């Protein structure tokens, strides 16, 4: 096996447990081979991790923001120093090419940690003071919440772990983090890196397991907040459980995001945006623009441009710099995506522009027999789609693009159709007329929007979904507010207290 076994991490170190209820085999998606065992955290181990965080909270929360920032900046330096080593683990764990994990996953996580460290060092936790009257004033303070739970997703493991832990720790909270059981290898690496940077034992802890472990963590009475990234149905359960305990929540859930190509859009640019919005990370991105609305007049040119670019999708050995497309994350997820492709063909009866359910053509192109055992799915494009099709309505979370056409003279039609969903995570517009782009994007019901691009989400940009796609935001200045609670204090300095209970 390629990796050391993983155990619950608390009090600053891994804690092998004799009472672990079992283990999960961590699988390399590119070859379907086991890499290590991840030992499920027992109820006693979860309790110990939470207690470790509780023990660490008084000292960490009373550490000055600038001192916390100095420690977190050391962690940033370590992340950047070990970027490629961490990225190689992410590649083996997720199945994403090293060309992606080395350039995006660790880098963007480190950017967020650096941003929040700088924000709290520069006064980001300052409150307000106002003069109420000559002898009285009011001041506010921002206080940390306490022990918080972070529940990660499998598609961007270390990035999501940093998106959650960075503002949490910077604000003075402690965290118990549960990675996805499908991609858990980053968690102990990050915990060890925090420790090496000087983060005190107990401030960042890790538990492992499936939904039952997440549920136990969410329900724990000592947990003040739950930050969850994942699918809508699971997020609703997590949010409901947290609400029963009056806990704070941040929910970053799924999407079925629209991309509207305006009539004046350059076809090549529109095709480039559509490719990035559908096939980056093999389509396993919650914000992906999987419903592509195109004017009918551009049909032939747009389809030709997409087909030209699909020819440059390069599956292969994941550590080869030329590889830009990997397998899906697990056998179960591969089967789900393939079932949707079959449904698109057999029930929805959409027109298949390229790809399909049979992986044979892709597998035959792979140079290594071991790779042919992996969870590969061909990049698939359906065209002539309608709004009622399952592949258009439901989140697939794989490399499947659906092209829908509209009358180019009625962009409002495209907007109405784009908004006709319970989800509202992301949306985008491509066009030459920037005024019209702004007008259209303002009408789209989504929390994250792009104009003439797709996917970039810098640390300074607060992101979060509308409707069923989430609650709250991550990153940006507002992202820090999600990890503190406000305290208001009124101070009377007049020397006497006005009272209705005085002698008449």
For 255-317, the DSSP string reads ---EEEEPTT--HHHHHHHHHHHHHGGGG--TT---EEEEEGGGHHHHHHHHHHHHTT--B--
Task: Report the C-alpha gap between 420 and 391 in whole angstroms.
Answer: 15
What's phi and psi for 275, nearest 5 deg?
-65, -45
Q: CA-CA distances (angstroms) from residue 206 to 203, 363, 501?
A: 10, 37, 56
Mark whether 456 is an active-site residue.
no
Dist CA 41 CA 256 (whole Å): 34
* SS3 state at 174: strand
Give CA angle at 443 (438, 447), nearest 5°: 90
Give the H or E element holding residue 487.
strand 484-492
Catalytic, out of 114, 181, 188, 252: 252
How many helical (H) and strand (E) elements, i.e. helices and strands, does the chain have? 17, 22
- In eight-state DSSP terms, residue 18 is T
Sequence-ordered strand ranges (E) for 351-464: 351-354, 380-385, 400-406, 423-424, 426-430, 448-451
Q: What are the φ/ψ torsions at residue 404 (nearest 5 degrees)?
A: -120, 145
For residues 328 and 337, what is the distance between their CA atoms, to the nearest angstrom?
9
What is the distance between the alpha carbons of residues 222 and 401, in angstroms, rounded to a whole number?
Answer: 44
Tokens representing 454? 């797709």
Give the active site residues. 252
């Amino acid at each position: 096996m390629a990796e050391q076994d993983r155990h619950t991490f608390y009090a600053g170190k891994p804690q092998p447990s004799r009472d672990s209820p079992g283990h999960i085999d961590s699988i390399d998606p590119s070859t379907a081979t086991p890499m290590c065992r991840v030992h499920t955290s027992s109820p006693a181990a979860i309790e110990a991790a939470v207690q470790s965080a509780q023990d660490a909270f008084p000292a960490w929360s009373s550490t000055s923001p600038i001192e916390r920032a100095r420690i977190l900046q050391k962690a940033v330096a370590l992340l950047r120093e070990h970027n490629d080593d961490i990225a190689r683990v992410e590649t083996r764990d997720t199945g994403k090419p090293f060309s992606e994990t080395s350039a995006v996953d660790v880098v963007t996580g480190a950017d967020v940690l650096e941003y929040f460290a700088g924000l709290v060092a520069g006064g980001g936790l300052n409150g307000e003071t106002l003069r109420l009257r000559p002898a009285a004033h009011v001041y506010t303070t921002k206080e940390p919440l306490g022990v918080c739970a972070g529940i990660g997703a499998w598609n961007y493991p270390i990035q999501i772990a940093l998106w959650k832990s960075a503002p949490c720790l910077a604000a003075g909270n402690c965290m118990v983090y549960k990675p996805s059981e499908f991609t858990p290898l980053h968690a102990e690496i990050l915990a060890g890196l925090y420790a090496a940077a000087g983060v005190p034992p107990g401030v960042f802890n890790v538990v492992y397991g499936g939904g039952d472990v997440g549920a136990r963590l969410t329900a724990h009475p000592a947990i003040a907040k739950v930050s969850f990234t994942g699918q809508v149905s699971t997020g609703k359960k997590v949010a409901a459980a947290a609400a029963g305990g009056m806990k704070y929540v941040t929910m970053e859930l799924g999407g079925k995001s629209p991309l509207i190509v305006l009539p004046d859009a350059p076809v090549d640019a529109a095709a480039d945006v559509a490719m990035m919005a559908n096939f980056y990370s093999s389509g396993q991105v919650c914000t992906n623009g999987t419903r592509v609305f195109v004017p009918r007049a551009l049909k032939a040119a747009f389809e030709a441009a997409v087909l030209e670019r699909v020819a440059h999708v390069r599956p292969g050995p994941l550590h080869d710099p030329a590889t830009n497309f990997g397998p899906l994350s697990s056998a179960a997820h591969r089967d789900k995506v393939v079932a949707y492709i079959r449904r698109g063909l057999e029930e929805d009866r959409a027109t298949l522009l390229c790809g399909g359910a049979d992986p044979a053509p892709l597998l035959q192109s792979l140079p290594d027999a071991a790779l042919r055992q992996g969870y590969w799915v061909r990049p698939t494009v359906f065209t002539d789609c309608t709004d009622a099709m399952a592949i258009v309505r439901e989140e697939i979370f794989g490399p499947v693009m659906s092209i829908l056409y509209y009358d180019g003279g009625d962009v409002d039609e495209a907007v109405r159709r784009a908004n006709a969903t319970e989800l509202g995570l992301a949306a985008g517009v491509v066009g030459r007329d920037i005024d019209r782009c702004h007008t259209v994007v303002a009408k789209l019901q989504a929390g994250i929007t792009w104009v003439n691009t797709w996917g970039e989400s810098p640390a300074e940009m607060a992101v979060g979904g509308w409707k069923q796609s989430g609650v709250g935001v991550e990153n940006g200045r507002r992202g820090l507010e999600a990890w503190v609670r406000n305290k208001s204090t009124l101070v009377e300095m007049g020397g006497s207290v006005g009272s209705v209970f005085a002698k008449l």
